[in-house]
Amino acid sequence: MTKALKQFRLSIFTFIEVVFVFAVITIVLSMNMGYAEQIRAGIKNEQSATILYYLNGITILAVFVTALGTTGIQLIHLYRRSGEIGLRKAVGAKDSDIVALVLKDTLLSLLIPALCGVTLGAALAANLSDDVFGLNAKIDIFLIAGSALILLIFAFLSGILPAAKAVQTDPADVLRRKGISRRENPERKYNIAYLLITAAIIIGGISINHNLEAAYREDMINTAGAPPAITQQAPAFSFEDGNGKVISSEELKDKNYCLLIWEEGCFPSISLLNELNNLISEGRLESDDVYAICLDTSIKRVEEYISANHLSVAPYADHKKSTKWAFNAGTTPALYVMDKDGIITARILGWSEAAKEYLLNNLPVN
């Protein structure tokens, strides 16, 4: 294979790779911005947050892997331009001039494929349905600004090592050489390192995707049925308190209590939680009779939320999704009232004066 053909192959490969990674960056950035907007609107989906967390991690890894591959290619170009670099240093070019030259060339070589990738990513993100991971993509000027910033960081990561190598170039040594030996050429070792890391990322991504899909399928199966109805025996469930103790529904027998199943960031859940909190603060309900169990989060986060919002309800978190699955809680909030025999006497999906009166009548303050 001739040098020209090798150069063309490397250029095409780099172009496609950079287009792909910047398309992914743009899509994930737009999802992050859409999710931030959902949070500001009081809408939060814990499963979407988890998926977005993994997508962000995979994207960051993809950026570094692609930067590594681009670094290798830039080093190859640098070695092929070693005569020019040596000549510039021989006629008095400063180290800062050499660094600026290499970084500028790296940025210019990435600019067109990065713009193509951002355009492709924005087009794909604009056509994404909000059913994809429950996330809405958002396209605006901040997305373009974020992509531009990532391009600068990417160019710096890709060009800093070649720039450092260029600074170390000895003009006399370079000008004496007629070519580059196979051992000196970095193409082989960087290609091997890049392929190994890329393979590891692909395998890791497949594994993460498999685990997420399995967890999502398990969640869908276990919340697919109808929730327990009034007059039925309450299903067995367990939850965790602020001390890390796991409490089972068996321990709640012989008492009347209400069970609120809620989610952090869900506006209807927060509204119902605040109504219960007001009744407790006014002394019209006993805090020991109210079990507000937060789904899909840790007890630490529940405690932080309750403390930050100065709520009187006790912090409880679901234990291994037992409450979510026992009550088929595909949507929240849901408020249940149980009697001393563990029978469901009421199922309240929204707050009203009638619901408040029912609670006050069935959970009297001692």
The answer to whether 23 and 120 are in contact (CB under 8 A) is: yes
The proportion of the chain whose per-residue pLDDT surpasses 90, expressed as a percent, equals 10
Q: Which of 201-210, 250-259, 327-336 has the lowest mean pLDDT?
A: 201-210
Q: Check residues 229 and 168 and name the one with the higher pLDDT.
A: 229
Average model confidence (pLDDT) across the chain: 78
* pLDDT reading at 180 higher than 80: no
Q: Note the pLDDT of residue 221.
A: 63
CA distance linking residue 206 with residue 215, whole number of Å = 14
Q: Note the pLDDT of residue 209.
A: 61
Strand partners, 242: none
Name the token pair of 72. 């290798």
Name the token pair of 237. 């469930």
The stretch 10-30 carries a mean pLDDT of 80
Best-predicted range by mean pLDDT (30-34, 126-130, 210-214):
30-34
User: Which of 92, 71, 98, 62 minimizes the C-alpha distance to 10?
Assistant: 71
Q: Note the pLDDT of residue 213.
A: 63
* pLDDT reading at 128 higher than 60: yes
Cβ atoms within 10 Å of 3's Cβ, excluding its own = 8
User: In the chain, what are the domains?
Assistant: 3-222 (no CATH), 238-362 (3.40.30.10)
CA distance linking residue 160 with residue 146, whole number of Å = 21
Q: Which of 69-83, 105-119, 199-213, 342-356 has the lowest mean pLDDT?
A: 199-213
Q: Given pLDDT bands bounded at 50, 70 and 90, which one contains residue 201?
A: low
Q: Note the pLDDT of residue 202.
A: 62
The stretch 297-322 carries a mean pLDDT of 86
* pLDDT reading at 179 higher than 50: no
pLDDT tens digits, 98-113: 888 888 888 888 888 8
Q: Check residues 221 and 230 and name the one with the higher pLDDT.
A: 230
Q: Note the pLDDT of residue 217.
A: 67
Predicted model pTM: 0.52
* pLDDT reading at 208 higher than 80: no
Name the residue type at position 119.
T
**What Cα–Cα distance (Å) separates residue 348 from each residue in 182, 230, 260, 342?**
75, 10, 9, 17
* pLDDT reading at 34 higher than 80: no
Q: Note the pLDDT of residue 257.
A: 92
Q: Which of 111-120, 191-200, 280-289 has the lowest mean pLDDT?
A: 191-200
pLDDT tens digits, 240-286: 998 889 999 999 888 899 999 988 777 788 888 888 889 988 889 88
Q: In degrees, to the nearest 5, what angle opens at C-alpha 296 toward C-alphas 295 and 297?
A: 100
Contacting residues for 329 by C-beta, under 8 A, at least 6 apart: 223, 227, 261, 295, 323
Q: Note the pLDDT of residue 181.
A: 47
Core vs surface per residue 202-223: b (16+ CB within 10 A) or e: eeebeeeeeebeeeeeebeebb
Name the token pair of 89. 């240093």
Q: Following DSSP, what letter does each residue of 100-112 receive, concatenated?
A: HHHHHHHHHHHHH
Q: Note the pLDDT of residue 345.
A: 92
The stretch 62-86 carries a mean pLDDT of 76
Q: Note the pLDDT of residue 182.
A: 47
Q: Note the pLDDT of residue 196.
A: 63
Name the residue type at position 341.
D
Whether the bond into 113 is cis, omega within 30 of 0: no
CA distance linking residue 29 with residue 122, whole number of Å = 10
Cβ atoms within 10 Å of 225's Cβ, excluding its own = 11
